[in-house]
Structure 1
Amino acid sequence: MREGKDEWTGLMRLAISGDSAAYHRLLKAVTPVLRAGARRGLARAGQPVDQSEDVVQDILLAVHLKRHTWDVNAPFAPWLFAIARNKLIDALRRRGRRVFVNIDDFAETIPDQPSAETASAGEIAGLLQTLPPRQRDVLQSIAVESASIKDTAAKFSMSEGAVRVALHRALSGLTAKLREH
């Protein structure tokens, strides 16, 4: 598996330098690993594993939005697995769960099924632009800037409930659009 993770680092370096084909290959390679890790983490938390696709899409979106923060001199896998762990924790918190998620749920996963097609970075960016502005702003604030629901609500003069609804609608809309592609 180490060899595969080194390949991921090389693909991400190419992707950062503008190689969209390498980015597509990277996303295709990491998706089954993320899917298996999300399923394992949800199962350990007593949650339905059929929610794993939503978690995977959240992870891929965060990777796309935060790819500029990755240090090209560092290995890619630990950065990816940290994002994956955080997105799984976020998903469990939204379900009212407070649990510890072991990063090894992702790090030790070996793909057990063929990769599903994933959207390219350009496609995701384009789909983000199709969201209503308020949903896009809320998603940007929470997913990219790591702002809390409370801080996002204050920033946009919204109630915390309205922020949660906008975030949910943005993620649901984006997930639906990604599945159409």
Structure 2
Amino acid sequence: MRESEDEWTGLMRLAISGDSAAYQRLLKAVTPVLRAGARRGLARAGQPTDQSEDVVQDILLAVHLKRHTWDANAPFAPWLFAIARNKLIDSLRRRGRRVFVNIDDFAESIPDEPPAETASANEVATLLQTLPTRQREVLQSIAVESTSIRDTAAKFAMSEGAVRVALHRALTSLTAKLREH
């Protein structure tokens, strides 16, 4: 690998000085390595590896657009792999955290009958009234009014941590009461 990294550095130096044939050889040499790295990175993140070619194209485009920033006195591979790592991370962030599961694998575990009846809105409202006032106010502010934790804290003159604790306690208590009900 060390020889190929030295070769890549030499090719990049020639490419920077205007040798387009060297640039083509460099891109052809690094592409299989980038493709394998993209596949490994996507697989490690639980993403489909068939998207690796998009990541490789993003990397090659970034290399092309940023090649003037490479320091000709430094080795090429670390610079390339930093770009590759960043483009892979960007790609994963764009995709978000998704897990692909084939539902056919779980067909026999899905019940045939509908789930048991849940509590009605009136029953939940009644149970909410049994919560301590501050917990109920915090829960209603966040869950019903969609107010942020920061705004809820300001509204009730509480710290954000205290709001989180009150919310957690309210949800835990309400869940326990719904299970008993």
Q: If the TM-score is normalised by the length of the shorter chain, which range does it land in?
A: 0.5 to 0.7
Aligned to 1:141: none
1:16 is matched with 16
User: Could you say which residue in structure 2 is the equivalent of 1:35?
Assistant: 35
* One-letter amino acid matched to 1:61: L
Correspondence for 1:50? 50
SS at the partner of 2:71? Answer: coil
Q: State the distance in 2 between where 1:47 and 1:97 align.
A: 9
Which residue of 2 is the match for residue 109 of structure 1? none
Deviating 4+ runs (over 3 angstroms): none
Task: Kindly provide the amino acid, as one letter, of the partner of residue 16 in structure 1.
Answer: I
Q: Distance in 2 between matches of 1:97 and 1:71?
A: 35
* 1:26-45 Cα distance to aligned partner (Å, 9 max, x none): 00000000000000000000
- 5+ residue gaps in structure 2? 99-181
Aligned equivalent of 1:5: 5
For 2:97 and 2:22, the matched residues in 1 are separated by 37
Separation in structure 1 between the aligned mates of residue 9 and residue 91 of structure 2, nearest angstrom: 26
**Structure 2 CA distance for aligned equivalents of residues 29 and 97 of structure 1:** 32
Q: How far apart are the structure 1 equivalents of 2:49 and 2:95?
A: 13
Q: Give 1:133's aligned residue.
A: none
TM-score normalised by structure 1 residue count: 0.53
User: In the alignment, is residue 67 of structure 1 matched against residue 105 of structure 2?
Assistant: no
Distance, in Å, in 1 between the alignment partners of 2:37 and 2:97 is 18
Report the CA distance between 1:81 and its aligned residue: 0.0
Which whole-Å CA distance do the structure 2 matches of 1:96 and 1:58 have between them?
Answer: 17
Point out the structure with max Rg over C-alpha: 2
Gaps of 5+ in 1: 99-181
Q: Describe the SS at the equivalent of 2:74.
A: coil
Which residue identity lines up with residue 15 of structure 1 in the other structure? A
Tell me by how many angstroms 1:7 deviates: 0.2
Count, aligned residues: 98
Q: Over residues 106-133 of structure 1, what are the superposed CA-to-partner deviations in whole Å (9 max), with x where a residue is unaligned?
A: xxxxxxxxxxxxxxxxxxxxxxxxxxxx
Q: CA RMSD in A?
A: 1.1
Give the secondary structure class of the aligned counterpart of 1:43.
Answer: helix
In structure 2, the residue corresponding to 1:36 is in which secondary structure?
Answer: helix
The residue that corresponds to 1:79 in the other structure is 79
- Map 1:78-97 → 2, pairs under 5 A: 78-97=78-97
CA distance in 2, matches of 1:15, 1:34: 19
- AA paired with 1:17? S
Report the TM-score, using the length of structure 2 for normalisation: 0.53
Q: What is the CA distance between 1:69 and its match in structure 2?
A: 0.2
| Greater RCO, CA 8 A, separation 6+ | 1
Deviation at 1:97?
3.4
> Secondary structure of 1:11's match?
helix
